[in-house]
Amino acid sequence: MKKRNAIVLYIMVLLFSSGCGVKVEEVPFSTPDEQPQSAQNRQTEEGNNIDINDINRNDITEKSETESIQDEIAKIETKSSEYENADWSSMGQQEMNQLTAQWYQLWDDELNSLWSRLSDELDAEAKEKALEEQRAWIQRKEENVKGAGAAAFGGSLQPQLENTTAEEMTRARAYTLAAYLADVRNEPFTISPEIQESIDTADPSLDDVFQKFEGQWIFDVERGACVGIERTETCTYGVEGSNWTVWVTGGDIISDLDVYGYTGNSILFKVAHDGFDAFYELSFDMTNSVNFAYGTSLDAMDEVIVCE
């Protein structure tokens, strides 16, 4: 957990120092179209595949019929720790992009393997419920990945941010499916408190993120002006059909219906106006103040309200 946080902090420092600005049926569960673009191009130029610390997934692709789900997931976790403990500070950006793509693929392979077996062993009713749940997770992952990548404004860091988010969320989901499969097989399955903490923070729902921002955040004390993030049902300016409404004193009103992507600490909105698109972003900055940014493109969100 601490190592993962250190890697995330390292990414944030890169963003800050580079001037990017931290604004702050049966289906396979991660088809090529659903993967971050960088995860579809996991190899470097011919003969130059990244092999940090001899990381290699090939020795864990086959599943033993006698191996427990607990032992299987532990083996993947051990391999995952090799990525986590790689010497990230010595790598160039391209290497980090490639290695995070491989790390994501490790868990994506496991996720699809777990589902293949789970779908064979669930009854029809349970399988349909699992499919519905998984489709919702896929949508949530796509939104999180998109939101994470947007923080790089199309820069070279974008693949790493997207891959890291995809890896963390896919790892968390793999544990969920592993628990389901173990339950179907009547096998014991436990998750350590440390791992549980890390997977709980990796896969927030949009509602969870809105709750972090909930309230009225003052940006002009003299006028009493603020940015409000409120549940629509209790909001004076509530947007019909939405769950959350965001408003600015004397300014715009948007809602969760306009969400374009999100991460654990930011929400990106896209609103179609006459002839152009407008983008908004709620985020926490380095001092934990709430920022509300606006612009006509993702890389030109120059109007920023800072709430103390």
Encoded tokens for 242: 């939405």
Q: Which pLDDT score, from 0 to 100, does residue 25 have? A: 35
Q: Which pLDDT score, from 0 to 100, does residue 62 have? A: 59
Q: Which pLDDT score, from 0 to 100, does residue 6 have? A: 52
pTM greater than 0.75 (yes/no): no
Q: Which burial class, exposed, middle or buried, applies to 257 when counting CB atoms under 10 A from its CB (0-12, 13-18, 19+)?
A: middle
Residues with pLDDT less than 70, the chain: 1-65
Dist CA 18 CA 6 (whole Å): 18
Q: How do the domains of the chain map onto residue ranges?
A: 2-202, 206-307
Dist CA 256 CA 146 (whole Å): 16
CB 203 within 8 A of CB 169: yes
Q: Which pLDDT score, from 0 to 100, does residue 166 have? A: 95
Dist CA 220 CA 35 (whole Å): 42
Q: Which pLDDT score, from 0 to 100, does residue 49 have? A: 39
Q: Report CA-CA distances (Å) from 22 to 288, 296, 301.
A: 12, 18, 12
Q: Which pLDDT score, from 0 to 100, does residue 289 have? A: 92
Q: Which of 182, 186, 168, 185 is nearest to 70 (CA)?
A: 182
Q: Which of 304, 272, 303 is nearest to 290 (CA)?
A: 304
